[in-house]
């Protein structure tokens, strides 16, 4: 399972990615969880099972959805979970989207 976070430069989400990886490990899940910038999304979109957009670039969600072109679900991470670096909640959000 590939869970990709998209943020402006791909760096601000790195701590959240770490927390999500810990939550995934605690659940016994095999998951590749990575953060990318919008600029490289075109190259990695076909590998993704879900793409979560950082709230700081939610204004780009329509553009991101066009790039992904329906190949996987796209959703915006809640400002609260992002700000609190709540990897468990963001992982659950991703899993719900994948299992729809």
Q: Which residues are catalytic?
A: 7
Residues facing 4 on adjacent strands: 34, 51
Return the closest-CA partner of residue 79 out of 53, 61, 49.
53
> Is 90:82 a contact under the CB 8 Å cutoff?
yes
Half-sphere exposure of 76 (CA within 13 A, CB side): 13
């Amino acid at each position: 399972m590939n869970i990709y976070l998209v943020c402006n430069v791909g760096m601000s989400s790195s701590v959240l990615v770490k927390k999500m990886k810990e939550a995934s490990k605690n659940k016994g899940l095999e998951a590749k969880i990575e953060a990318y910038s919008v600029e490289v999304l075109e190259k990695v979109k076909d590998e993704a099972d879900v793409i979560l957009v950082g709230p700081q670039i939610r204004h780009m969600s329509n553009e991101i959805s066009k790039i992904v072109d329906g190949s996987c679900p796209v959703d915006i991470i809640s400002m609260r979970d992002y700000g609190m670096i709540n990897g468990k909640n963001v992982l659950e959000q991703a899993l719900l989207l994948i299992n729809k």
